[in-house]
Structure 1
């Protein structure tokens, strides 16, 4: 069904058919009405970029934790907690923000509201969370390097 082929045509205010008028105002039954395609496409793209970014962060985080903790031992004063904590903040935070963003975007779709801004805010928050986790990881790496270099000097 298209907007130009609505059964019964557009209701007039004097027709008195309140049910048909309400159906016209609701605008059909699809989640992708013709006027909202750009909103839906931008929302889906932002959510997809956020999901890909979270997966890449998880893979890089696992590799970084494994390589950083391979030479980590108590004699050098190194603790893997900072590495694991930074990775958990980055990956876990981005994942939780992604799930909340998807739920809120679908809720906006069902209420026939724009949702691109929800996905954009979620994407920015996920980037901030990944950055925060990266800073925690880098501080743990700097502390571990400083401890091991002090002990060897």
Structure 2
């Protein structure tokens, strides 16, 4: 498997699901929100539970074999200054900007009229972990931790 091709597919899939406002697909897991994307021999699924506080997992398959995964947990810390709709708007705008650069891992600050998005990560698509958060008037109002990498049988 070519790691550059994997990275490119991850960016493509992410930009065409959550950021694009894709509708959830029917899920076999009660209460799950599943966003999927497929191109040729590649398949992607982002499956999460919850709303303002949520947990999920993204998986990429190559020729029907799982090759990559990422787990995440996010939450609204200050519901008096931010809600899920505002956080979602900031995150979507920031991630759209990131994906246009051809990458999905952080190392970025994105200023939005509703708050400042910050993403810090270590590693590359083969093995990584990171933390994203939103500041509203300098106060941390939302956070998400993530980690993932290659799946090796």
Q: TM-score, normalised by structure 2?
A: 0.28
User: Which of the pair has the greater relative contact order for Cα pairs under 8 Å at 6+ separation?
Assistant: 1
Q: TM-score, normalised by structure 1?
A: 0.28
Which is higher, the Rg of structure 1 or of structure 2? 1
Counting strand residues as a fraction of each chain, which structure ranks higher? 2
